[in-house]
Structure 1
Amino acid sequence: MSGNGSALDDPEIAHAVETLWNYHRLDNGLGTRTDVGIGLGSHDLSVAIVTAELYHRGLFPLIVFTGANAPTTVERFPRGEAVHYREQAIELGVPADAILVEDQATNTGENITRTRDLLTATGHDVNAVTLVSRPYQQRRARATCRKLWPEVDVVTAGASTELREYVASIGDERRVISMLVGDTQRIDVYAHRGFAAPEPMPADVLDAMALLLDRGYTDRLI
């Protein structure tokens, strides 16, 4: 592989990244009706787009966009992740009065707890939620919700795209791979710290993470 080539041209790296990509994607909320769709803030505008699509399909009557800023999002979304997501959803035809904004959360745990508190404060009775996130954040988002909001049933959704197409849409291959590695680490670490419910981690996932760590994808480790 040349210095200007894609890391995914290396078969070992490509296999490892695909393994993590498939592990984190659940997509069990693409046909399930719930009380609210919760768009989790990140650098990825597809979260707002998918949330709007699912709203128009009638899968939930209410949306909450949640997220302030992180170092990786402040330049792209200077007014805050949730605010930009709301604007995108309105451009896509979602009525403004169907959207609530939680603009203080700075991590996934706060996305869940602050959204839960906002819905309670605004008088919404919620029994089931759809978490919409980056495609590869779904497993960690579900685990976080199961721990911090166990009273609700939770399904997840993300952009229906293949890995290479997704990397191209983001325009930063290293960021995507590093975040996949970081989310895999967080599945284990956050469960041990009590921030999330435990998730199984098969041997092939552990092997894929080890290979990518060895290849230097450590930017998003905690």
Structure 2
Amino acid sequence: MESHGPVDARARELARILWDHLVLADPLSKADVILALGCHDTRVAVHAARLWHEGRAPLLVVSGGRGKITSGWTETEARVFARVAREHGVPERALVLEETAANTGENITATRRLLDARGVEVRSGILVAKPYMTRRSLATARCQWAGVEWTVAAPEIGFDAYGDDERRFIELMVGDLQRMVVYADRGFQVPMPVPAAAWAAYEELVRLGYDRHVIR
């Protein structure tokens, strides 16, 4: 991964506060579909395959075209995720590829259109995302595909072990924390209040220059 410079102890401390708010781990039960949200982290696809093998849902949708981190990939996120899922034993009959989404909202809406067109009824679903994307993914799905009982899951990776490009990882979390507020205001997500401590950590990280993915 590309490096964007060193991260000091204060930035790491603030980032952990963001992580602690953004990461959700729902108790899971059986669902109609598992929806793996495409991204640069293929561990999401590995975890989605694991959930399929556990019998959590009969269908695994991998959704993603190219996003802000994967714009230079030669394949869509969905194709990469599908290949990983196949390598981990998910059969072709259980896989659905959605290859157009460029953001989390489109992961939800494009998958909804695709499954509607195929006549697949979805009453419950499991979102699989990067750990720090779980809360925002759930807020997005509850808004963009209301009426479905959504739960959310992620690879079981802690803050200290998450990324080898620590600065980019923090910058992405800063952007996601801001979107918890901005996108709820714009009607893209259901509101999920951000604790004062998490917002203060976000603001300090922005002042420290971790603002690459902040909406201007």
Please report the TM-score for the alignment, with normalisation by the length of structure 2.
0.94
Alpha-carbon distance in structure 1 between the residues aligned to 2:6 and 2:16 = 14
Q: Secondary structure at the match of 1:123?
A: coil
2: CA distance, partners of 1:214 / 1:130? 36
Alpha-carbon distance in 1 for matches of 2:29, 2:74: 33
Gaps of 5+ in 2: none
Give the aligned residue type for 1:93.
Answer: G
Q: % of aligned pairs identical?
A: 40
Q: Which residue of 1 aligns with 2:22?
A: 24
Map of 2:107 onto structure 1: 111
1:38 correspondence with 2:31: no
Q: Is 1:72 paired with 2:69?
A: yes
Q: Aligned in 2, Cα 1:48/1:179: closer, same or farther, shift over 3 Å?
A: same
Tell me whether 1:52 sits opposite 2:49 in the alignment: yes
Q: What is the deviation of 1:5?
A: 8.6
Structure 1 unaligned regions, length at least 5: none
Q: Does 1:192 align with 2:192?
A: no
* Separation in structure 1 between the aligned mates of residue 148 and residue 161 of structure 2, nearest angstrom: 33
* Contact 2:6–2:167 (CA under 8 A) maintained in structure 1: no
- Segments of 4+ moved more than 6 angstroms: none
Distance in 2 (alpha carbons) for counterparts of 1:19 and 1:58: 34
CA shift at 1:70, angstroms? 2.1
One-letter amino acid of the structure 2 residue matched with residue 90 of structure 1 = R
Does the residue aligned with 1:44 lie in a helix, a strand or coil? coil
The alignment status of 1:151 with 2:144, answered yes or no, reads: no
Query: What residue number does 1:90 align with?
Result: 86
What's the offset of the Cα at 1:164?
1.8
Contact 2:108 2:145 in 1 (8 A): yes
- Equivalents in 2 of 1:5, 1:60: separation in Å? 41
* Counterpart Cα distance in 2 of 1:62 and 1:5: 41
- Asked if the contact 2:59/2:95 (under 8 Å) is kept, the reply is yes
Partner of 1:220: 213
**Cα RMSD (Å):** 1.5
Matched residues in 1 for 2:38 and 2:213: separation?
A: 17
1:7-64 alpha-carbon deviations (Å, 9 max, x no partner): 2x51x322211111111111215x3221111011111111100100111111111110
The CA distance in 2 between the partners of 1:70 and 1:206, in whole Å, is: 25
In the other structure, the counterpart of 2:161 is: 165
For the 8 Å contact 2:42–2:81, the answer to whether it is kept is yes
Change (3 A) 1:89 1:124: same
Mapped to 1, the partners of 2:6 and 2:152 lie a distance apart of 30
| Structure 1 residue 128 corresponds to structure 2 residue 121 | no
Number of residue pairs the alignment of both structures matches: 212
| Residues 5 and 167 in structure 2, CA contact (< 8 A), matched pair in contact too | no
Report the TM-score when normalising by structure 1. 0.91
